[in-house]
Structure 1
């Protein structure tokens, strides 16, 4: 909590100072007449009363600048609602989105990092049964490959960015879409323009199979995706892509972007909300 309060003060120092002054003034204005009416004379305890006012004012100012943990807003001129929250993607209610490479690899270790969302999905959600993932790829993408590439590790069939499959597991529908290219060492990489292309394919699939149910996605392009933008700009890019898609063809559902706790001091949700309301 202390770290979050410090983050709030750093983001809004003027608001913090004004809250202290305002809080002290309000407390003084309220209690001084009350003491007079009740004939309470704090003689000899003036310092303690002053200290109490200051502490109460600080508490008020901490509350005022404490960073938002969740914001909601509607995309302008669309039926799409957006929620941005801090939490765990896999425990969120509704469908879930996970990015993969253009090869739809499934082997954990190399090329799929066990620390990536795809790695966690395969090992924990699917119980390590890569055949579930592979069968979905083979069944849904038959005939869609754009080229075959000989690789040391991983699959050889390469798909277009934005290609999306779905896996229904434990009453949740998972959208897995190709976001990144992969080099010979299985290192993923992408760019803002490629990310927009990939997201376009994802939204098209969500529109067809989402059925109006909430869609949960992580901060697309962060971490191992290597898009090359700071977290706040990645979030803005996702929202721009979403707005464009929702304006072209209605996407009437709630899109929930679930951020990890380590993004708390990197993304100011209040600023994001103010920019998009």
Structure 2
């Protein structure tokens, strides 16, 4: 994470001021007691002593307020949440892939080639769409579909739609699962739409699937709500991260999901986040 960016945030300066003033207050108590007991000790060195107090207090305040990696450990359950600036597909452990409820994979005409869903095809399956489609079909064999598009719908791409929250778990490599979850609804014009309720339901289903099949390994997920979901106008990245973390902790308190959740943020998105506020939020999720 960019430290320079965090130093410009109001939360950093508020914490720095609070810690510095608290430190000065402590020194003031010590000075008052010293002056009462030894009235002739402080006057000769008063200006130097004051400068020293301010310097030490400022250093203490800086240390306490200095930005650190945004992460939080929890004891109940025994898990962690990390907010990571980087590449989703370079994270260790299992990965969550947000998809439409038709599980379409054709790019660029149906699926945005810049999205996570497209990167699953191009980076993990080396653009072998047939292989990815076969893996998804196998994973969905036991899932009940919601509807089928008709000839009159004239929908390009896949014709079967599954309920929001359906999870298709695929394993293109050993000990690395990809939880492909339908969190947006695709219409006949291949326009995907999502809702906050649908995202919440989808996340809960992912945590259930990870609990069952993930072997406790770390899980990584990108910020949801932008792109095809088209809900970023009232569900910005800052809120999306809090939403994901809250959903994960609620589920983990019922039964442990994994050893760690990585919420992975692209640099262009991270530049606009208040990481110190997010750290405070993660801390607030600890049991009281």
TM-score category, normalised to shorter length: 0.7 to 0.9
Where 1:12 maps in the other structure, the secondary structure is helix
Q: Which consecutive residues of structure 2, in runs of 5 or more, have no partner in the other structure?
A: 31-47
Closer, same or farther in 2 for the Cα pair 1:108/1:58, shift >3 Å?
Answer: farther
**Paired position in structure 2 for 1:224:** 228
Q: How does 1:173-192 map to 2 (within 5 A)?
A: 173-192=177-196
Following superposition, the deviation at residue 158 of structure 1 comes to 0.3
Following superposition, the deviation at residue 147 of structure 1 comes to 1.0
**Paired position in structure 1 for 2:282:** 273
Following superposition, the deviation at residue 16 of structure 1 comes to 2.3
Which whole-Å deviations, capped at 9, do the CAs of 1:197-239 have from their partners, x for residues lacking one?
1122212221221122222222233443233312233233223
Tell me the number of residue pairs that the alignment of Structure 1 and Structure 2 aligns: 258
Following superposition, the deviation at residue 129 of structure 1 comes to 0.9
Asked whether the 8 Å contact 1:162–1:178 carries over to 2, the reply is yes
Where 2:7 maps in the other structure, the secondary structure is helix
**Paired position in structure 1 for 2:45:** none
Which whole-Å deviations, capped at 9, do the CAs of 1:232-268 have from their partners, x for residues lacking one?
33233223333443344x2342241323132352442
Q: Which consecutive residues of structure 1, in runs of 5 or more, have no partner in the other structure?
A: 30-45
**Paired position in structure 2 for 1:170:** 173
Which whole-Å deviations, capped at 9, do the CAs of 1:156-214 have from their partners, x for residues lacking one?
11011111112223332111111111244433221111112112221222122112222
Following superposition, the deviation at residue 61 of structure 1 comes to 4.9
**Paired position in structure 1 for 2:13:** 13
1:241 and 2:241 are equivalent in the alignment: no
**Paired position in structure 1 for 2:135:** 136
Where 2:199 maps in the other structure, the secondary structure is helix
**Paired position in structure 1 for 2:145:** 145
Which whole-Å deviations, capped at 9, do the CAs of 1:128-159 have from their partners, x for residues lacking one?
11112200121121362221123433211101
For residue 253 of structure 1, the aligned residue among 249, 258, 263 is 258
Asked whether the 8 Å contact 1:75–1:243 carries over to 2, the reply is no
Where 2:72 maps in the other structure, the secondary structure is strand
Mapped to 2, the partners of 1:266 and 1:185 lie a distance apart of 37
Following superposition, the deviation at residue 122 of structure 1 comes to 1.1
Q: Report the TM-score, using the length of structure 1 for normalisation.
A: 0.77
Closer, same or farther in 2 for the Cα pair 1:194/1:139, shift >3 Å?
Answer: same
Closer, same or farther in 2 for the Cα pair 1:19/1:74, shift >3 Å?
Answer: closer
Please give the root-mean-square deviation of Cα atoms over the aligned residues, in Å.
3.4
Asked whether the 8 Å contact 1:95–1:173 carries over to 2, the reply is yes
Asked whether the 8 Å contact 1:161–1:198 carries over to 2, the reply is yes
